[in-house]
Structure 1
Amino acid sequence: MINKAICEQQEIDLVFCDLSMPGEDGLTFLNALKKQNFQGKLCLLSGHDKSIIALAEMMCRQLGFGMVSSQMKPISNTDLASVLHSAIEAVPSPKVSDKVIEFLRSDLDSAFDSHRLVNFYQPQCRFANDTQSGNEVLIRWDHPQYGYISPMAFLPIIDKEQWHVRLFFYVLEQALEDHRSEKLSGSISVNAALANFGDSNFAFQVLECCERYDFSPQNLIIEMTEMEVYKHNPTMFENFARLRLNDVELAIDDFGAGYSSLIKLADLPFTEMKIDRALITSCHRDKRKNAILSLVVSMAKQLDMRLVAEGVEDNETWAHLQSMGIDLCQGYFTGRPQPIEYKLMA
């Protein structure tokens, strides 16, 4: 079994896990590793069928591990060097806690007022020439006791208190200020909830913010998840239309993770499609995923939609997606989400 004392005494950056080991299999080891709150990177090794490796990768992601690479045995010196190289980061990334902590309404209200909610920015890079086109904005809570906290810990309060508009404009204005002060460049992608589009003043407020911060609306991208896109109402359509009339772009996020009718894509004016990481992971060696991706790429191009691949974490996936003609990459391979002070260090 995994040595708990070693894990507590020192920080481990990279673990190689063979799926077939004497005494216990690698899957048991991975569960034990999770119980030790392992925060490093992981590389799976196996001589088994690729479909089994793909299942192990999905298990790892469900467990919450970070970068997951996989290699067939025996691993070559070249592949080993590639794994080691990908594990090295030039700029350290802040750790984000995924602990399940119950917060009160007053805790989050205070975080808003004291500006403890901070934007993290993840770069989006062009496959064509490996240059950065912009950033997606992700919110984190810089908690004085727990450090950086994932939004999963406080989104239930946002839902209960109906603070979706408050959160959206808090994030947007912080990003626009960073852009105005030249800490950011290129486009800005901000996530919105269905509740935002249900507010009749939403589009007007977005455009007013852009004007106040001297930011071109055509460089703003507002994202909605695939699951929410299909719960529409008349006010949402009005907001969509007004935003597009003023050149704000609209993206459908996590495409491929939902189960809704594709005909809705013909009804709504999306300009960008973000392919869910579940389809991207190991797509270069998974025939089924590759077949689905080919259809998605063809459909997006016929709909004149820009394609963003989420969850790209290694050179092999990058090269494969580049050959498919996908437009933008977003993932650990090209850059982790980081607060603005980390980006300025890069």
Structure 2
Amino acid sequence: MNAKFSSLMSPIALRSGIAVQNRIVMAPMTNFSSNEDGTVTDAEIAYYARRSKGVGMVVTACAYVTPNGKGFPGEFGADRDDMIPSLRRLASAIREQGAKAVLQIFHGGRACPPNLVPNGDVVSAGTVPAENGAVPRELTEDEAEAIVRDFGAAARRAIEAGFDGVEIHGANGYLIQQFYSPHTNRRNDRWGGDAEKRLAFPLAVVDAVKAAVREHAKRPFAVGYRFSPEEPEEPGLTMAETFRLIDALAEQSLDYLHVSLQEFWSAPRRGADASKPRIEWIVERAAGRVPVIGVGSIRTPDEAAKALRSGVEFVALGRELIVEPDWVTKVEEGREDDIRTTLTKDDQAELVVPDPLWQAIVNSPGWFPVVEPKR
């Protein structure tokens, strides 16, 4: 291995006691490929197994914690106990390749398509609709409390299924973020108010998940939290409110914070000086209190090593691990020049990508670096 990449391959132990073999994480990516009943398919199992060799940790696609939280067609579920055998297959497929398996748990809130939730009842912190979305119904106080409990129950199922951890999905404008955002949360009850009071729901979810871990985990089990640092709307989340969120989460003894960014080095919009990128502000605010996972259009080992020098403890790869499942192995073997950063329409079988995800890749111009095959 080239010595300049040794930092990427160094092991690290998380607060919970989980030992991660290196600093490369497979980012959570929706694949649209589960069965109608929420169980994982054979194609998904093969897809994850193909990408789990070498990486330190795999964070799965999001799993809904309650039926009215399903945000995508072909999303798998963690909403009831009869999902545990399905989840166990997924955890085993990842862990057998040597990676730590982390289940991302989720509720889509106002982003859920009405046709995917019972009776088309789309719910949120308030009644502000997503762009081109249905007007959501505002959850009652008790309903919000029930969803908090659903997150805890999903964490218990992840433990029973053999996962190494869960990641609470508080990013990308989904339900947990909807409760923290001043754009979507206009409530005046115990779940709303100023920024401090809007932290109530995210922190209640963290508490419920941690309680499930204390009660049910018989071996080290990690809890992470993913967040988006800003929103484009006004009012909307700014970097200043994100700093408040980081401070609150840093006190929760979490294993990591995972920053959701399209571009790793993107600059702040509001609430922080644009003289340095968001990720550096976030690392500075975390101040070593909790490890940070950075992500966003990282493709090559050189880019990953540069990203690690920002101060993050982990670098997550998303699309690049679809394009190049052997990314880590090739770095370890000194074959970084063989790492592919593009794919062709002929590569599906070799890359072991399920049909629904493959169709999304090849029919969404600009999403993936799809090039013409060599003839």
* TM surpasses 0.5: no
Q: Which has the higher helix share?
A: 1
TM-score (norm 1): 0.43
Return the index of the structure with the highest Cα Rg: 1
Q: Which has the higher strand share?
A: 1
